[in-house]
Structure 1
Amino acid sequence: MEPENLNQPMAREHLLLGHPVALWILDYGLFRVNANRRVIGICGFLIRTSAGEQLLVDTGFPAKYVRDAVAATAEDGLEVFGTVLHCGPENLPAAQLKLAGTSLDQIDLMIQTHTHIDHVGGLDACPQAPIVMARAERRLPKPLYWGAAQPMDWPARDYVLIETDTEIAPGLQILLVPGHTPGQLAVLLRLPETGSVLLTSDAISRPEEMAGGFAGAWDASLAHANGERLMTLATQQDAVVIYGHCPTQWPVLKKSPLRFS
């Protein structure tokens, strides 16, 4: 059951006061997918606004994968999908944020693009920060996590639930793009120097999905339609596109402590 009054923070025109001025890509480790043995990066993001507000987008694998990835994989049954190649202490959100000069207790808002295991591990890491996510995802009894494994509960937190594309700050839009999961989100922001940046998350994990049919998606046809919508929007905005798990893009992306501004 959903808590009451989840959308109260959106009562004013924007949830945040400032506009985006900096973006950091956070490195949460490496994973090898059994299908085609693709090696993919696990990413999150830090966004800072002109008002000094800080937003954390996704949090990678649960910390148990740092302690013992083999045991955690067996516990979750993840071996049928792939192998965690690297997930060290330096790949946890706290360490990645430290590289960007901040910390978990300074996060003002969390954005949860969806609730699969490699995005939701630190869902409860910032108790002071409201969580922005899709209402369709929050309606699920538990976070999706992985397959039949659903060990996580929803943390007691203020939630801002997205039911349509929503501008939460000047120049920062949350896009509702279901398909990969019922409540998949993407993020479109405009930076002073870089211009528009589209964070597709797993709405488009890699460009090849557009022709490959979005195999394994919760709703492949819906995923394709929203993938097309995102790519059209990226063209219209002349946006830099950062895909969710692109094996060729990931190695060349500049990551924290480097930033886009």
Structure 2
Amino acid sequence: MSQTSVNRLYLMQVGSMPEYQIPIVCFLVQTKDGRNILIDSGLPANIPDEASDFENGKDVIEQLASIGLTPDDIDTVVSTHYDIDHAGRHAAFTKAHYVVQRAHHVDAASNPRFAATRTEWEQPLARLRLVDGDTEWLPGLTLIETSGHVPGHQSVLVRLPNTGAVLLTIDAVPFADGFSRDQQATDGDAEAEAVRASTIKLLDLAEREHVNLVIFGHDAAQWERLRKLPEYYD
């Protein structure tokens, strides 16, 4: 496999949508030189009324503390998108840089969908790192532009020393049964067409990069089987 600077990948379930049995999740990547990279941050501490379907569990800050980390130990927050269940604790990581697709950040500025978490994701420009399309952030960690769920959504490809390539689809493909080329035609629905295009892009990537593990963003059955913090993939 290609050279990687990534050492470990931790998975955290930080909340849920109980009615639908959907896990709310985020991830921590640790590098060989000691950097801590958080991928998403889960739900806000106080969930607004319009998002009452969500329920907090052991939040990201508590989970990081269980392996000896504080918010100040996080060097980078990779923000896949600004939905309330993915960007709800961003503001806690005051020493971090925030990595997000430029197209998403620009759209969010005037999109009411992301207003509930604006105080979390609207960080000082000096701490934002806006990327355009697929980007190798560091050896072993690649951001994959996968618009559809929202404009400028990004998935993440992680290369681990022993496990090999792991694809985090996030909300581009939230459930395993959607990871297929056999979707029906979408009859001009631009959002659905974008979702399909991103799904095909990730399927092609999984084949091309010999991905050993695909982790879907909200698949409860899969998450029951996965290693979760304090366990990890290496």
The TM-score normalised by the length of structure 2 is 0.87
Residues 77-112 of structure 1: CA deviation (Å, up to 9, x unaligned): 235xxx23x423xx2111111223322110011100
User: CA shift at 1:235, angstroms?
Assistant: 2.3
Question: More deviation in 154-163 or 190-199?
Answer: 154-163
Give yes or no for the alignment of 1:150 onto 2:109: no
Residue 104 of structure 1 is aligned with which of 71, 86, 94?
A: 71
Letter of the 1:208 counterpart: D
Percent identical pairs in the alignment equals 31
Pairs within 5 Å for 1:109-128: 109-128=76-95
Match of 2:233 in 1: 260
Unaligned residue ranges in structure 2 (runs of 5+): none
Q: Secondary structure at the match of 1:257?
A: coil
Shift of 1:125: 1.3
Q: Please, what TM-score do these two structures have when normalized by structure 1?
A: 0.78
Matches within 5 A, 1:177-256: 177-209=146-178, 210=180, 219-239=191-211, 240-256=213-229
Q: Give the direction of change, closer, same or farther, for the CA distance of 1:151–1:102 in structure 2 (3 Å limit).
A: closer
1:252 Cα deviation after fit: 1.4
C-alpha deviation, 1:254, in angstroms:
1.1
Counterpart of 1:44, as a letter, is: C
In the superposition, relative to structure 1, how do residues 167 and 49 fare at CA in structure 2: closer, same or farther (>3 Å)?
Answer: same
Match of 2:132 among 163, 177, 194: 163
TM-fit CA distance, 1:189: 1.2
Secondary structure of 1:114 counterpart: coil
Change (3 A) 1:151 1:187: closer
Q: Give 2:216's aligned amino acid.
A: Y
Counterpart check, 1:54 vs 2:27: no
Distance 1:133 1:190, change over 3 A: same
Q: Deviation at 1:213?
A: 6.5
Q: CA RMSD in A?
A: 2.4
Separation in 2 of the partners of 1:58 and 1:213? 31
The runs of at least 4 consecutive aligned structure 1 residues that moved more than 3 Å come to 141-147, 210-215
Could you say if the C-alpha distance between residues 87 and 145 of structure 1 is closer, same or farther in structure 2, counting changes exceeding 3 Å? farther
Letter in 2 for 1:182: P
Please state whether the residue corresponding to 2:165 is helix, strand or coil: strand
How far residue 214 of structure 1 moved from its aligned partner, in angstroms, is 11
Q: Which residue of 2 aligns with 1:44?
A: 26
Please list the CA deviations of residues 45-93 of structure 1 after superposition, one character each: whole Å capped at 9, or x if unmatched: 000001101101101110113xxxxxx3x2xx235xxx23x423xx211
CA contact (8 A) 1:186 1:199 kept: yes
Corresponding letter in the other structure for 2:6 = P
Would the aligned equivalents of 1:47 and 1:54 in 2 still touch at CA under 8 Å?
Answer: yes
Amino acid at match of 1:226: S
Deviates more, 1:111-120 or 1:101-110: 101-110
Structure 2 residue identity aligned to 1:138: H
CA contact (8 A) 2:183 2:196 kept: no
CA distance in 2, matches of 1:236, 1:27: 29
In the comparison of the two structures, how many residue pairs are matched?
223
Which residue type is aligned with residue 68 of structure 2?
G
